[in-house]
Amino acid sequence: MGTLRYVKAASIALSYVLTLGPVLTAIPAVASPTAEIPNAPTTVAVTLQRIYQRAYDEAYSKHATVEPDGTTFVSTGDISAEWLRDSSAVLMPYIGLASTDSYVRNMLRGAIARQAKYILIDPYANAFTSDYQVAERKFEMDSLLYPIRLAYVYWKATGDRSIFTPALQQAMTTAVRTLRVEQHHTTRSHYRHDELANNGVGTRVAYTGLVWTGFRPSDDAARYQYNIPDNMFAAVVLQQLTEIERKVYRDNAMALESWGLAVQIRHGIEHNALVNVPGLGRIYAYEIDGFGNANLMDDANIPSLLSAPYFGYVNAHDSVYKATRAFVLSQRNPYYFAGKYASGIGSPHTPHGYIWPLSLVMEAITSTDASEVDKVMGYIAASDTGDHRLHESFNSDWPESYTRDDFAWPNALFAQLMLARQGRLPAVLESLAR
């Protein structure tokens, strides 16, 4: 297999500076101590430039490889497997190049073709090896949705319909059918996993129109099996699939099926997932069970409640979203941590007090407050240990203690943030976040 060619980003990164206004247990690693980064705009800008240059260069030059069958394998980083979610997210910053760069275009086509094969092998698996073996079989509903979103955004940005093969349509149909089964998990599903409660079945749920998921986007078992950010994501992606089925495949039956499921999910969220919190009013819960139980929290991994405007479920000015945002970015959220160097959202997947750069980048992307963005950029700069990479998580009191040496996803998302600030994102990505 051949490593994809290196993408030069130095000039793009410099333009930003000039206009700056899985399965493995997450065990902290310790880098050589770095000098404390003063909160000075010039120093922060230089650090961000270095992170951005490395992020934009490495996200696919290091992690994406062309396989003998012509498809593109995208590893998650220092784990030699491909997560459907991570690989889709890692490739997103490069879609804008696909219209003019045939190499990037072929890389993206190959990635979409490979993801379709994965889904057809096992729609309940979330990660695969380069030789198409199941690496992990944790049913995370967003793993079925991310490849559809990638295909949709690629198509809308490039106009290239060549990706829409019969195999991709079969994979998309399989995804929708699986979501339908899991909408009725108690009566129709045969999925079991030994990390779930109730002998692998999961916690008891009542029908709400929402789709059941075994695991969160963090790969951790859900407390209550209706994950609201996942279902928000589904409501949006299924509408995108409706457009694909109607305009590309001319399959009105599948278009109606996708649209109907999206409507039911959105109805289920708005009628079951809202909770009144003193001092804030109505907010979205992170998980519910349909019996009135709700888990109030947020996790750094995306889909998250914080990221809802990013993927297009709500506008950032929506009153319920604003209240939810205030909750998740406060210590009412059990996974919000405030330390000497940074404050932000972490995850039960990593040690207490560890913040995920993924959540810091998402906070900046979804913010409508320039001063908040500047503050978060300072946190991101402060997390740099000298390798100019964003890690999975870092100790908010000692950034030199972090998890995962190489984690592609936050670096790709950071590259996307920088492109957005330069006005270089494809229009479809900009419109989804409005």
- Tell me the CA end-to-end span of the chain in Å, nearest whole number: 40
Q: What is the Cα–Cα distance from 371 to 143, expressed in whole angstroms?
A: 34
Beta strands in 226-297 (DSSP E): 226-227, 274-277, 281-284, 287-288, 294-295
Q: Tens digits of per-residue pLDDT, 147-182?
A: 999 999 999 999 999 999 999 999 999 999 999 999
d(CA 169, CA 171): 5
What values do phi and psi take at 401, rounded to 5?
-100, 115
Domain total for the chain?
1
More confident residue, 408 or 42: 408
Going by the DSSP 8-state scheme, the letter that residue 42 receives in this structure is H
Complete edge-to-edge strand list for the sheet that includes strand 393-395? 28-30, 398-403, 393-395, 354-355
Give 31's Cβ-side CA count (13 Å radius): 22
Tell me which of 259 and 40 has the higher pLDDT.
Answer: 259
pLDDT of residue 194: 97
Inform me whether the pLDDT recorded for 250 exceeds 50: yes
Two tokens, residue 232: 């928000």
- The whole-number pLDDT of residue 117 equals 98
Query: Residue 140: its pLDDT value, please?
Result: 98
Residue 4 confidence (pLDDT) above 90: no
CA distance 235 to 292: 22
Q: Indicate whether 11 pLDDT > 70.
A: no
Of 395 and 24, the one with more pLDDT = 395
User: 293-296 long-range CB contacts below 8 Å, 24 or more apart?
Assistant: 293/224, 294/224, 295/223, 295/224, 296/327, 296/332, 296/333
pLDDT of res. 33 = 37
Cβ-contact 389, 411 below 8 angstroms: yes
Which residue, among 191, 197, 193, 227, has the nearest Cα to 211 in the 3D structure?
227
Digit-coded pLDDT (tens) for 72-97: 999 999 999 999 999 999 999 999 99
Contact 69, 118 (CB under 8 A): no
* CATH code of 240's domain: 1.50.10.10
Q: Which pLDDT score is estimated for 32?
A: 37
% of the chain at pLDDT higher than 90:
84
Q: How many CB atoms lie within 10 A of CB 56?
A: 25
Q: pLDDT at position 13, please?
A: 36
Residue pair 87/80 in contact by the 8 Å Cβ criterion: no
* DSSP per-residue string spanning 366-431: H---HHHHHHHHHHHHHT--SS----SEEETTEEEEEE-S-BHHHHHHHHHHHHHHTT-S-HHHHH
Vertex 325 angle, CA 321 and 331, to 5°: 150
* 135 Cβ contact partners less than 8 Å away, ≥ 6 residues apart: 22, 23, 81, 82, 125, 127, 128, 129
In this prediction, residue 425 carries a pLDDT of: 87
Residue 86's alpha-carbon distances to 289, 335, 361, in angstroms, are 27, 21, 15
Q: Is 65 helix (H, G, I), strand (E, B) or coil?
A: strand
Helix axes 10-18, 408-421, angle to 10 degrees: 50
Read off the pLDDT of each residue in 305-330 and give the average, rounded to a whole number: 98
Is pLDDT of 31 > 90? no
Contacts of 165 (CB under 8 A, 6+ apart): 113, 116
Average pLDDT, the chain: 90
pLDDT recorded at residue 433: 59
Phi/psi of residue 250, nearest 5 degrees? 55, 40
Instruction: Specify the higher pLDDT residue, 235 or 431.
Output: 235
pLDDT over 90 at 43, yes or no: no
pLDDT top residue among 145 and 4: 145
Read off the pLDDT of each residue in 2-13 and give the average, rounded to a whole number: 36
Tokens standing for residue 281? 């009013």
Range of the domain at 159: 2-432
Distance CA 335, CA 327 (A): 11
The three-class DSSP label of residue 84 is: helix
Looking at residue 197, what is its pLDDT?
A: 95
**pLDDT per residue as tens digits for the range 390-419:** 999 999 999 999 999 999 999 999 999 999
Span 351-373, pLDDT tens digits = 999 999 999 999 999 999 999 99
| Among candidate residues 384, 377, 289, 304, the one with its CA nearest the CA of residue 346 | 304
CA pair distance 289, 276, nearest whole angstrom: 17
* Enclosing H/E stretch for 135: strand 134-136
82, 128 Cβ separation under 8 angstroms: yes
What's the confidence (pLDDT) of residue 60? 74
pLDDT tens per residue, range 203-242 = 999 999 999 999 999 999 999 999 999 999 999 999 999 9
pLDDT at 160: 97
Chain centre to alpha carbon of residue 211:
18
At 12, the pLDDT band (50, 70, 90 cuts) reads very low
